[in-house]
Amino acid sequence: MRIRSLIFIFALSLACTIAEAGQQYDVTLYGGTVKDPYTLYYPVEITEPGQIEITIQITSVTPAMASDERPISAMLVDLRAFGQKKPMTTPEWKKWLQKANKYNPAEYFAGDEIRHWVSSMKGLLKSALGKKKKRKKAPDYVHRGTYYGRSTRVTMKYAVDAPELSKYQGRYVLVLNNTSRSEVHQTMGIITPGDPSQQATADAPREHADLVIKGIGTNRDGNLTVTVANIGKGKVPARGWELQGENAVTLMIARNGKSWGGVTLPRMDAKKRLMNPGGRVRYTFNLNPTGSEITATIDASHKIRESNENNNSLNKSF
């Protein structure tokens, strides 16, 4: 039997602002059967407590379904659904997604482990979303689930508190199954905590960190020092210390208008002083700035969602 499943990996979950904004997708669910559903997996990653909101609107169905058909399901699960029990760092999460994305459209997923994931996800339909008279208790890793069909708009909301955020690292997967023979086109919106569309209330205002360069100077040996502070009312997400490579949060130095180098957040602030409001850290570079104009910039690529994104740089002439 051919396995018709895909795992979609969105670089936005790793390369854009850590507290993700809402995303809109055009989704096509090709025909399947109950025994062999067409399945799509969408990674959903959050970095702060709050509500995940998923809205799906069917735009066309070919051929048309009966008005009472509900052959499509949507489930929000955590990574235990795929047999993942141990915590993962961001690079491990990215590697996991890349591994799962090894797809041969003519045959099946590469690797016994991935085939096991696909098989386990197909079994969720019976255990989590079966007919009422046969329905079993849904596994703990299923957090929300619904059936829908022709000309239907569905919305799923799921609130994640701080303990759960820590337990599952804010990593979930949205699973879409089509067990009908119809080709279904739909639009899908995913809003995660930190998105501007989730308006803060007067009782619970949304607070963010605000990283600034507080000072540029030299130490007694004449080497450049830069002081960074979090002057915002919110925390820097812990994920900021996990990102590596081109996705890392960095303090960058420019000398006379040309890039000189920089340092990543975990190296600059190993004790995570900047995580909390009011925190500050001073880092010393192996650079004598005499006769130079120095520009220091923290998080120039805006990996951290801040209350003010326009105050991350400071210049000083020596």
Q: What is the pLDDT of residues 221-245, one digit of tens each?
A: 999 999 999 999 888 888 788 777 7
The amino acid that residue 217 corresponds to is: G
Query: Which residue's structure tokens are 């910039």?
Result: 297
Residue 162: phi, psi to the nearest 5? -60, -45
Helices 90-100, 112-129: inter-axial angle, 10-degree rounding: 90
Query: Which residue's structure tokens are 């303090």?
Result: 251
Q: Determine the pLDDT at residue 242.
A: 78
> What is the pTM for the complete model shown?
0.53
In terms of Cα–Cα distance, which of 103, 93, 43, 88 is closest to 247? 93
Residue 205 has a CB neighbour count (10 Å cut-off) of 9
pLDDT in tens, 178-221: 888 899 888 888 888 765 544 443 344 457 889 999 999 999 99
Domains of the chain, CATH where assigned: 5-191 (2.60.120.680), 211-317 (2.60.40.10)
